[in-house]
A and B are shown apart, each in its own frame.
Chain A
Amino acid sequence: MKSAGMNYADVNPADSGAGRLGLPEPSVIVAARVNGTAVTEQVPARLSAADFLRHRLGLTGTHVGCEQGVCGMCTVLVDGQAVKSCLMLAGQLDGCQVETVESLAAEGPLSPLQERFRAEHALQCGFCTPAFLMTATALAADGRTLTRAELREELAGVLCRCTGYEFIVNAVEAHLASAAAGEGNQPGD
């Protein structure tokens, strides 16, 4: 992840606040690769990464639940790491690779992970689901073997109020097992 994303040299003169009663609204340029596509956007400096993905890029699968990094609804992958995008500014995505839930099955059939969630009834209202899917994607890429208790710890960064977690843990556990067995790329496993 790039360390210094904020660049006040990019402040939009129209928003400088000179001669106005309003507060100045500095902006920054973000150039990132999101779900494999290069994007360049000028955004307010105080825009969060989650709001940038949702309302600038239209990737509304990433949700916002608390804006203080606790509920985990906004979990996405930034340079392969599962992060809470409500705690990042859009400017910090500059130069980064970002993956959101929309990357899992852009067109056509669901991915094996998504199919597993469906088969295990691991979602109800679906608001937390993208965050669990992205967390599980990072866990699968990491490749460590986890006990069920360790898996619960790993999933504890995302809250769910509908399911009681049991079926989510089942789905991720099954997915990690088949991913480890090299079946991860078979659709509908």
Chain B
Amino acid sequence: MTDVSVREVVAPAGREHAVLGVDFPRKEDDRLLRGAGQFTDDVDRARSAEMAVGRCPYPHARIAAIDVSAATALDGVLEILTGAEVAARTRQIAIMRPVPGAPAIPHFALALQTATYEGQPVVSVAATSRHIAEDALELIEIEYEPLPHVSDVLSALAPGAPVIHPGTLESNLLVSNPQGRGDAAARMAEADVVVEGRFHVNRVTGLPMETRAVLAEWRAGAGALTVHTSTQAPHMMRAQLADSLRLDEGDIRVVTLDVGGGFGLKLGAYPEDLLACLHAISLRRPVKFVEDRNEHFRATTHGRESVHDYRIAARSDGRILAMTDVYTNDLGGLNSPFGSSQLSTVVFNGPYKVDDGFVERRIVVTNKTPIGAYRGYGQPEVNFAYERLMDKLARQLGADPVELRAMNMVQPGEFPWVNPVGAVYDSGDYERCLRMAADAVGWAAHRDAGHEPRPSDGWYQGIGFACYVERTGYASSKFLAARGSRFGAHESVTIRANRSGSLDVYTGVSSIGQGSETVFAQMCSEFFGCDYDRIRVHTGDTGSSPLNTGSFASRTVIAAAGALADACVRLRSKTLRIAAHILGVPDPGELDIVGQAVQHREDLTLMLPLSSVFERAILGQGLPDGERPGLDETSYFEPPEAAYSFGTAAAVVAVDAESGEFDVQRFLMVHDCGTPLNPKLIEGQVLGGLAQGLGQAMGEELVYDPETGQLVNGTMMDYFAPTACDMPPVELMHTAVPSPVTPLGVRGAGEVGCIPVAAAIGNAICDALAPFGVELNRLPITPERVWRAVRDGARAST
């Protein structure tokens, strides 16, 4: 078998049309446009029961007693589960991406003695309809004894704060991870200038339009459990379900057809996934659970909340000497499978070259909904801190913020470059993106014009920049293993030939909107040589796809490209051997696949339709001696290194200093995701990420009442999510520096959009209001906060 070096993947010769780098129409679109997509709640089963979950209404409470007798007697109620029964029937939910050094905070699908956040599942009911299941919840008497709670992440560390997990932890500090290189403290002491700030990053939700859903079916006689669920990682879900339910992985099939948005929230098993399975097994009938939106706001993981204490030391000429960040992440009341974000550490210095650096991650337990992965996984958070501080440094030095950034960036000749925590930046031209953005928004003219308010209405005009790098993909499974992660870094595909000449591609990656069916088919067409239209990509079914990792961490295309290339090369080689045998051509190398035919490179009369070659292979009839029947290939690929996407965002903002009102007039982003395989899809990814970043920057925030510990805006009505009218005019530009460490030179594209938004907008407003000495260090940035900052002037700058 050919051993493919993915860096040397070469497209088959003689192709008339390029397949990669082209905006192919999406494979996914036809069904979705007809309303014929199949989301989990679209799957109905005869005699299925429905499940509803009773949740703790307090942020922290002891469960003194549960009386289900009235509910049990209700007509239509089939089964009621409480914590004790779940603990007897299952193992605790596994943590898939533990924080290094953190003790486990084990938890079952239902709270046992104590609930540690509002919304934690306490009882579940299966009934003949959701209505009846919810009626039953009303009849269940639960005696709660509220306990002292803590909702603020810094207060949770204060002496005397109630300890939320006293059995495991002595305080609410789960773990602290210091990392660094050189002597940052010494550099700070000798620097001409040190700027610092405390940056508060808001708690938000990714808010996919489809809530979570699960349909569990148990075939008792066969001991087989089929679980339809809305997940980004079906094989991981299967492993977690098997572990918790004490079943063999082989007993379980997870099927995920269409997913209505994930953004990191649909990673790992949730309590409701297990509960639906438990009910299905004991009732011997299908059980469905569809999360309602109010539950979603409390029971599906939140993201981002953190406080960063960031410092930058520099010489008077602007050269950065050291960067340090001590940050505190809110974990929420329990450790969800993906837990607290971890990448604030990995890219803490952004695109800036610094030898001495120190970063400490502290993870803190509070009585709020558990935090989980959310698009960016720590990178938007830390970007807000270091990019806001870069502007502060520029003001302090009287330097041009663009020039200050440019002089400190890692330059193209310096790669691979290792940052102070060991991240290996692969390649790029960071400064070019910054210069392109500065030119496009007319930075030089704005800088030279000064900070006079515009004559028409007295509003101030500002421009802000934010530069970023994003770690995309994982630096091999070795990186993950060292951190205790219970998943790999690889992707896999099975490709199978059909008698008609078409190809089936099977992948465990589920379709969450990212367009992987399309891009996988493009790559398959490129590598194998047949028509794009004759390739069907089957996603998200563990029953047919090889074991894989899943759709997260901006890694799917990076890893899948290698697997597809390898499988296609082997499939192609066998196809050509069989065709050569049929055509009587001595060397298969003289043949090529062109569209739906195999033909001789020189003698064009020697040709065969792919269908006839495939049929021979499938039937095993008339094959060359020693050739085995069948025509399918399975390949795995693990990228050896992560690739770093990069770019610069620029915001042009007008601000009314009197009211604090502001208007984002332009938002521009120059991004580099390496070799673009389908440019339109990349634009879609970046634009979508930008919208989530804008929401986070300017309005989204899950607010907890400090007195009661209750989520006060946990409904769609109360939580701001951007609509079509809330988006500023957005412009995208890109560069395409191929990564030297990935197949085809691709970099991840799924998460970049949300990273630089808050800092760019914050910097633009602070630039506009420079005469007032405004520093905005808390998200979201609202007119009220801007107004307060103007009023407080320099006092707001901490």
Residues on A lying within 8 angstroms of B by beta carbon are: 20-23, 25, 44, 46, 54-55, 58-68, 70-71, 73, 100-102, 104-105, 110, 114, 117-119, 121, 123-130, 133, 149, 151-153, 155-169
Contact = CB atoms under 8 A, between A and B. Distances in A.
B449 interface: no
Interface stretch (B71-79, B415-423, B588-596): B71-79
A160 B513 CA distance: 12
Interface in B205-230: 206-211
Contact of B32 (A21, A44, A129, A149): A129
B131 interface: yes
B35 A130 contact: yes
A121 B74 contact: no
A21 B136 CA distance: 11
A102 B34 contact: yes
Interface residues of B, number: 67
Contact of B73 (A21, A65, A121): A21
A121 B689 CA distance: 15
What 5 A-B pairs are tightest by C-beta distance, nearest first? A61-B35, A22-B75, A126-B32, A125-B513, A127-B260
Given A23-B74, A126-B33, A156-B726, 14 more contacts: A23-B132, A44-B131, A61-B35, A65-B209, A66-B715, A125-B208, A125-B209, A156-B724, A161-B206, A161-B261, A161-B721, A164-B753, A165-B724, A165-B727
Nearest to B44: A55
A63 B33 contact: no
B143 interface: no
B691 A164 contact: yes
B35 A121 contact: no
Nearest to A106: B34
Contacts of B691: 161, 163-165
A81 to B, nearest CB: 19
A71 B209 contact: yes
A161 B725 contact: no
B780 to A, nearest CB: 17
Interface in B27-47: 28-39, 41-42, 44
Interface stretch (B108-116, B564-572, B680-688): B680-688
B120 to A, nearest CB: 22
Given A166-B727, A167-B684, A102 B692 contact: no
A63 B209 contact: yes
A185 B259 CA distance: 32
B717 interface: yes
B690 interface: yes
Nearest to B729: A166
From A21, A114, A162, residue with most partner B Cβ within 10 Å: A162
Nearest to B132: A22
A54 B469 CA distance: 44
B39 A161 contact: no
A101 B35 contact: yes
B540 to A, nearest CB: 13
B292 interface: yes
A116 to B, nearest CB: 10
B101 to A, nearest CB: 34
A86 to B, nearest CB: 10
A128 B208 CA distance: 10
B391 interface: no
A105 B30 CA distance: 10
Given A127-B39, A163-B687, A46 B73 contact: no
Contacts of A159: 209, 721, 723
